[in-house]
Amino acid sequence: MLYVEILGNMPEMAGDEVKAMLELSCGKVIGRDYLLLRVEAPRKSFPYLDRLGLAHEYGELLVEADSVEELLEKAKDVEWPIAGTFKVDTETMANCRHNVLDLPRKLGAVIHAQGFRVNLSKPDTVVRAYCGERLYAGIRLHYFDPKDFERRKAHHRPFFRPISLHPRISRAMVNLTKARKELLDPMMGAGGILIEAGLLGLRVYGVDIKPEMVEGARRNLLHYGVRDFVLRLGDATRLGELFPGKKFEAVATDPPYGTAASLAGRKREELYRRVLESIYEVLEEGGRLAIAFPASFDGVSEAERVGFRFVSKYYQRVHKSLDRYFYVFEK
Ligand SMILES: C[S@@+](CC[C@H](N)C(=O)[O-])C[C@H]1O[C@@H](n2cnc3c(N)ncnc32)[C@H](O)[C@@H]1O
């Protein structure tokens, strides 16, 4: 059994991102306690879980209990798969119902009694204990270092535009499409979504109506080591003409929200409708689209009108004058 600890700011989107990765690799979520997902998955799921954007870490779940005493009792019977030294790190989630102040010390003592040495500053193995409705303990297998994502935030890229999504969100959008081999962003801007997809080994295709964006996205992709890309200057409402005969496995995009300049002179709602139609035309049967729209635009009805099947949507308040939904649709 595995656990995945997801991030707390968009928990529904984060949970569905995990499900999407498990669906690609014969795994499934079998339970949830606030930010902790209990997961059944084979080893081949690990590379898919490694793709996650909205997760804190995942690991092997070894003990579950309804009280601290029960957790400690059960921990005695576990053969802790610890390599070298260890430390116990406790996560007290917002829904924690137990007194876990002493848990790290007591659980550490149980594991120490099996002959393992503690090293609080540089442990080889991190034992994680979680407190929610219930209590859990396990071994951390993968930690998603926030610095990796921070390094790719808009202002660290050689070509900077302040219009970019956070890299973790871009990554989650890519994953929600369940792409395995390729992804198109027809309004790529500085290429934030394409960078995340490219780093997963997907072949990426990008379009923007502005020449400086096409050149800037190219610089950004190269800067992060993404080489397998095709970029085109053109209009997202005419994708069929830009890629004759091509059908895409997956599409993810973040259309412009506001200013006349970013909309290239078009009316916003009209642009969104035509982009949806154009994406539908070039998407494979069964392929998925992840797309963001301001909350004032009814993305579900508009996409259904074009022929898409609604999969999910997630709300995000960006600032006082912008709130949006991220949608997932399927053809
Ligand atoms: C919000 S930005 C995308 C940001 C991008 N996700 C990133 O991470 O940098 C939207 C982009 O859509 C482009 N755009 C606007 N109208 C377009 C159209 N009709 N066809 C293609 N691109 C268009 C704009 O030039 C802008 O770069």
Verify whether ligand 1 is closer than 6 Å to residue 100 (CB atom): no
SS3 156: helix
Write out the residue limits of the CATH 3.40.50.150 domain(s) in the chain.
149-330
- In what side-by-side order are the strands of the sheet with 125-131? 28-33, 36-40, 2-6, 55-65, 135-143, 125-131, 86-92
Pairing verdict, β 322-330 and 283-294? antiparallel
Verify whether ligand 1 is closer than 6 Å to residue 290 (CB atom): no
Specify the fold of 149-330: Rossmann fold (3.40.50)
Number of other residues whose CB lies within 10 A of the CB of residue 222: 12
Give the Å distance between the CA of 257 and the centre of ligand 1. 9
Q: How far apart are CA 166 and CA 163, in angstroms?
A: 10
- Per-residue pLDDT in tens (0 to 9) along the chain, 331 residues: 999 999 999 999 999 999 999 999 999 999 999 999 999 999 999 999 999 999 999 999 999 999 999 999 999 999 999 999 999 999 999 999 999 999 999 999 999 999 999 999 999 999 999 999 999 999 999 999 999 999 999 899 999 888 789 999 999 999 999 999 999 999 999 999 999 999 999 999 999 999 999 999 999 999 999 999 999 999 999 999 999 999 999 999 999 987 655 666 678 899 999 999 999 999 999 999 999 999 999 999 999 999 999 999 999 998 887 899 999 999 9
Decide if 243 contacts 205 (C-beta within 8 A).
yes
Distances (CA, A) of 63 to 9, 236, 312: 27, 51, 33
SS3 326: strand
Among 159, 188, 275, residue to substitute to test ligand 1 (most atoms within 8 Å of Cβ)? 188
Ligand 1 atom with the smallest distance to the CA of 236 is 20
Give the helix ranges, DSSP H, for the chain: 11-23, 46-49, 68-77, 103-112, 146-150, 167-176, 192-199, 211-223, 239-242, 268-282, 299-306
Ligand 1 atom with the smallest distance to the CA of 257 is 1
* Choices 3.40.190.10, 3.30.2130.30, 2.70.70.10, 3.40.710.10: CATH for 2-144: 3.30.2130.30
Q: How far apart are CA 200 and CA 218, in angstroms?
A: 17
Q: How far apart are CA 204 and CA 177, in angstroms?
A: 13
Decide if 186 contacts 213 (C-beta within 8 A).
no
> What are the structure tokens assigned to 124, written together?
């080889």
The strand pairing partners of 90, in sequence order, are 129
Q: How far apart are CA 175 and CA 17, in angstroms?
A: 6
**pLDDT of 184-243, one tens digit each?**
999 999 999 999 999 999 999 999 999 999 999 999 999 999 999 999 999 999 999 999
Q: What's the pLDDT at 288?
A: 98
Verify whether ligand 1 is closer than 6 Å to residue 196 (CB atom): no
Which sign, positive or negative, has the C-alpha torsion 280, 300, 313, 325? positive
Nearest Cα residue to atom 9 of ligand 1 = 190
Write out the residue limits of the CATH 3.30.2130.30 domain(s) in the chain.
2-144
Q: Identify the H or E element spanning 29.
A: strand 28-33
Q: How far apart are CA 218 and CA 223, in angstroms?
A: 9
Verify whether ligand 1 is closer than 6 Å to residue 164 (CB atom): yes
Q: How far apart are CA 271 and CA 273, in angstroms?
A: 6
Half-sphere exposure of 291 (CA within 13 A, CB side): 31
